[in-house]
Amino acid sequence: MTPVQEKVLTELPNYQADCLVQAKTGTGKTIAFLLPALQSLLASNQNIPKGQVAILILSPTRELALQIAKECNAVTAKLQPKIECHTAYGGTSKERDLKTFLGGDPKVLVATPGRLNDYLNDEYIAHKFQSIRTLILDEADQMLEAGFLVALNDILRRLPQKQQANWQGMCFSATIPPKIQPVLSKVLKNDHTRLSTVDPNETPTIDRVPQFFAVVPSVSDVYNALWALLQMEYKSTVGDFKVIVFGTTANGVALMHSLFTNLLASNSTLQVFQLQSRLTQSNRTRTTNEFKEAKAGIMFASDVIGRGMDFPNVSHVVQVGLPSSGDQYVHRVGRTARAGNEGRAFIILTQRERFFLHVNKRLPIQPYPVDLLEDLALSQPRELAAAFTGVDQLTKAKAYQAWLGFNKSFTKQLQFDNNMLVQEANEYARAMGCPEPPLIDRTVVGKMGLRGVQGLNIGHIERSGGGRGGRGGARGGQGDSRRGGRRGKK
Ligand SMILES: Nc1ncnc2c1ncn2[C@@H]1O[C@H](COP(=O)(O)OP(=O)(O)OP(=O)(O)O)[C@@H](O)[C@H]1O
């Protein structure tokens, strides 16, 4: 057993007890919540009627839901009679999934909140949850955050009431910020058990992972630094080079994927992957499986795999740009050094983004020992420029827009006013090889609160490749005070 598994199995007052459990990334929390819930289901003499869900597990992402279901199937593989574990998550055919769900005996269901709510909206399907014994929130802090809380409240309204049905609540995560305390009572009794394998005085990341930062002067240096870093680490890595590079937005990730596919075209051993929310679910699932099995390669990813995902033997994690929070940094670093393995982690920030290091002083991040941009021959800017010519205009235009949307939500910390933000975005566009700022829709500009800001190239982006459909150009005027364009899609 890993420490968290031992703690849960030996220190819970009983396997039906409510609990809040914290343990570092990659230390086996999945089995730590599956075992007590399954054991108490098996040991109970309650006969759960066929077709009724007994254990409901909520996950923030589809990939994680599928992974948990696989772990559950592995744990129960030898049991007779079989315990069926089903999944319910978006992006797949609801009809097909429902047919399997309604035709089977889904004693365990692993679901994402949106699809589960779809199910629960139907009274007949909601009835299948009348015998629920255990509700588990994996990545509990995220599930209890504003973004998910509305959906979670809807789910809780449609499940049997906790007080009457007395179902067990279990919350697990590597990070448990104090801000979730007020909402814990939605799933846990007041006298729930709290278990942690993390000393509050130690770092929240895995100790074995050396962590480095590189600060570059501006946004136009970022990909250069990334290319230099990947080459340096590749040369000095003895075993397999299996890397996850996190970007801030789905479209930014698509851009990096396209750029590095060009840069690495001649390297036959390093396959390049991407995982972000704008891909189809079948593509996401296929890529997840391929990268799980790959011995080496580079995955460009957004936060759809920032938490919980278990890709074996990831040797390096690189974060490009700001993580959404210090906790999210910790989860991303946790994609390496899992289950006792080694790993290295890096973050590349611009001067303006450097504040992240000050705000998160508790994180053990050291300066990278080499100046990535010092040796221009090594960072090969010409090679990068050539690779950018092979990236299509639409990908660049979308990345530009996503960059604006993401950074707009950090303007205060980045000490940008709207004009400076757009200037920096245009510098980013130049670094991508765009002769002028990519077109951006008037409505998008309005939503971002950038109406009237100098330097924007307003017009309609054509799907066929970023051709122009009209031009507003730079016009002076009142800034738009409406909030909008919060962080782009993950
Ligand atoms: N007792 C064990 N012995 C060896 N390997 C284990 C054990 N328990 C779990 N593992 C493996 O360790 C890896 C990490 O486990 P898991 O994904 O549950 O971590 P986690 O704590 O949930 O991480 P995260 O915080 O990232 O969600 C998985 O590959 C899992 O199969």
315-348 pLDDT, tens digit each: 999 999 999 999 999 999 999 999 999 999 999 9
Tell me, in angstroms, the distance from the centre of ligand 1 to residue 11's CA.
19
Asked whether 31 lines ligand 1 (CB < 6 A), one says: yes
pLDDT at 79 over 90: yes
| 176 & 210 share domain | no
Q: For atom 10 of ligand 1, which residue has the closest CA?
A: 28
Q: What is the mean pLDDT of residues 39-64?
A: 93
Residue 126, both tokens: 């909601």
Alpha carbon of residue 7 to chain centroid: 27
Cα of 249 from ligand 1 centre, angstroms: 27
How many domains does the chain divide into? 2
30 lines ligand 1 (CB under 6 A): yes
**pLDDT number for residue 460:** 84
Q: Would you say the CB of residue 2 lies under 6 angstroms from ligand 1?
A: yes
| 286, containing H or E segment | helix 281-293
Provide the token pair at 432. Answer: 């991508």
35-39, 161-165, 267-271, 344-348: the lowest-pLDDT one:
267-271
The rounded percent of the chain whose pLDDT value lies above 70 is: 92
Whether residue 294 is found in the same domain as residue 315: yes
Domain final position from 163, 196, 229 = 196
Of 299, 219, 211, residue with least CA distance to 254: 299
User: How far, in Å, CA of 91 to CA of 111, rounded?
Assistant: 12
- Grade residue 44 by pLDDT with cuts at 50, 70 and 90: confident
Mean pLDDT score of the chain? 92
pLDDT for the residue 377: 57
- The pLDDT, as a whole number, for residue 316 is 98
Are residues 140 and 120 both part of a single domain? yes
- Assess whether pLDDT exceeds 60 at residue 353: yes
Kindly indicate the confidence band of residue 477, based on its pLDDT and cuts at 50, 70 and 90: very low
Task: Please give the pLDDT value at position 378.
Answer: 56
More confident residue, 453 or 472: 453
Q: Does 133 lie in the same domain as 29?
A: yes
Q: Is the CB of 27 under 6 A from ligand 1?
A: yes
Residue with the smallest CA separation from ligand 1 atom 9 is: 28
pLDDT of 62: 96
Cβ atoms of 482 and 408 closer than 8 Å: no
Domain range for 149 is 3-196
Is the pLDDT at 380 greater than 60? The verdict is yes
> What ipTM was estimated for this complex?
0.99
**Rounded Cα–Cα distance for residues 305 and 243 (Å):** 13
**Most distant CA atoms of the chain, gap in Å:** 73
The answer to whether the beta carbons of residues 451 and 441 sit under 8 Å apart is no
Q: What residues contact 141, with CB distance under 8 A and at least 6 apart?
A: 173, 175, 176, 177, 180, 327
Backbone φ, ψ for residue 452 (5° rounding) = 85, 0
Q: What is the pLDDT of residue 200?
A: 84
Nearest atom, ligand 1, residue 4 CA: 21
Same domain? For 123 and 249 the reply is: no
Residue that is last in its domain, among 196, 216, 242: 196
Based on the domain organization, do 186 and 211 belong to the same domain?
A: no
Least Cα distance to 471 among 438, 426, 434, 431 occurs for: 438
Residues 376 and 440 placed together within one structural domain of the fold:
yes
In this structure, the answer to whether residues 158 and 263 fall within a common structural domain is: no
pLDDT band for position 269 (cuts 50, 70, 90): confident
Ligand 1 within 6 A of CB of 204: no
Q: Are residues 156 and 232 in the same domain?
A: no
Task: Report whether residue 308 contacts ligand 1, using a CB cutoff of 6 Å.
Answer: yes
174 lines ligand 1 (CB under 6 A): yes
The CATH number for 337's domain is: 3.40.50.300
Beta bridge partners of 439: 457
Q: How confident is the model at residue 376 (pLDDT cuts 50, 70, 90)?
A: low
Digit-coded pLDDT (tens) for 425-439: 999 999 999 999 999
Pocket lining: 205 vs ligand 1, CB cutoff 6 Å:
no
Residue 337 beta carbon below 6 angstroms from any ligand 1 atom: no
**243 near 315, Cβ under 8 Å?**
yes
With H, G, I as helix, E, B as strand and everything else as coil, classify residue 490.
coil
Distance 244 CA to ligand 1 centre (A): 18
Task: Check if 28 has its Cβ closer than 6 Å to any atom of ligand 1.
Answer: yes
| Same domain, yes or no: 33 and 85 | yes
The residue whose CA has the least distance to atom 15 of ligand 1 is: 28
Whether 46 and 169 map to the same domain: the answer is yes
Looking at 178, 196, 214, the residue that finishes a domain is 196
**Arithmetic mean of pLDDT, 221-245:** 95
Model pLDDT, residue 468? 39
pLDDT digits (tens, 9 = 90+) for 271-305: 999 999 999 999 999 999 999 999 999 999 999 99
Q: Residue 27 Cα, ligand 1 centroid: separation in angstroms?
A: 5
pLDDT tens digits, residue range 403-421? 999 999 999 999 999 999 9
479 — pLDDT class (breaks 50, 70, 90): very low
Does 217 sit behind a cis peptide bond, omega within 30 degrees of 0 on the bond before it?
Answer: no
Q: Across residues 375-385, what is the average pLDDT?
A: 71
Residues 112 and 183 occupy one common structural domain: yes
